[in-house]
Amino acid sequence: MSKNLFITGTDTDVGKTYVTGLIVKKMISSGFDTTYFKAAASGNDRDQNGVLIPGDAALVQKLSGIKDDLSELIPYVYEVALSPHLASQIEGNPVDLKVVKEYYNKLAKKHPYITMEGSGGILCPINMNNQELWLEDIIKAFDMDCVIVANAGLGTINHTVLTIEYMRQKNMTVKGIILNHFHPGDKMEEDNANMIEHRAGVPILCCVQDGDTELKMDGELLASLYG
């Protein structure tokens, strides 16, 4: 069975997909056969034939060089840019955890490491149609440890620590934090990193600057986070 790691974020549009792409790229370049997976993604565009393209998977593929077909990586793809539970109410085809597991297991037979990205923040509703399913239910279904992607800027202490505390209350394990949109030498952002570590007791694994094409983190250490 593949080892896995779940990537969540403190909020929508924190740069979770971009950072996940860098994680997968670092794993591959460090010699660990890794792919990408996401249960559901909304806000996708159609190609010239009217087929929905899973944009998050396409970005990760572009960043990391993974060879899997995009159709294998995200089982539920929606056009409207809304939470998956609402997107599926509008477009139909609500997320079924059994189907998610089927897609995951196919990838697990091909790759020893799977990096799974969440939808939105940790409290994202995935299905409120025929069954109640939240992002945390997916994490627990695959027994995954987590890394949190957070913004380096103003407000991140509150957002990040509250996310960690909620996840602890729900018995989810947070292995570390990656700060995105980081500016070296910015006193506030450097202090934010120190305050998050101090208050939450969770390490800042690395910081990502805008335009980075490599994750500034040791590959062996990154691989050790997968369980």
In whole angstroms, how far apart are CA 207 and each of 5, 106, 149, 194? 18, 32, 10, 12
Sequence-distant (≥ 6) Cβ neighbours of residue 67 within 8 angstroms: none
Report d(CA 206, CA 186) in Å as an integer: 15
CB 104 within 8 A of CB 37: yes
Q: What's the token pair of residue 99?
A: 């189907």
Phi, psi of 169 (to 5 degrees): -60, -30
Identify the three-state secondary structure at position 5: strand
- Which residue is listed with tokens 């190609």? 47
Catalytic residue among 16, 26, 38, 101: 38
In whole angstroms, how far apart are CA 147 and each of 24, 71, 127? 13, 25, 23
Identify the three-state secondary structure at position 133: strand
CB 85 within 8 A of CB 128: yes
Neighbours of 220 (CB within 10 A): 10
CA angle 83, 222, 58 (to 5 degrees): 40
To the query of whether residue 16 is one of the catalytic residues in this protein, the response is: no
Catalytic residue set: 38
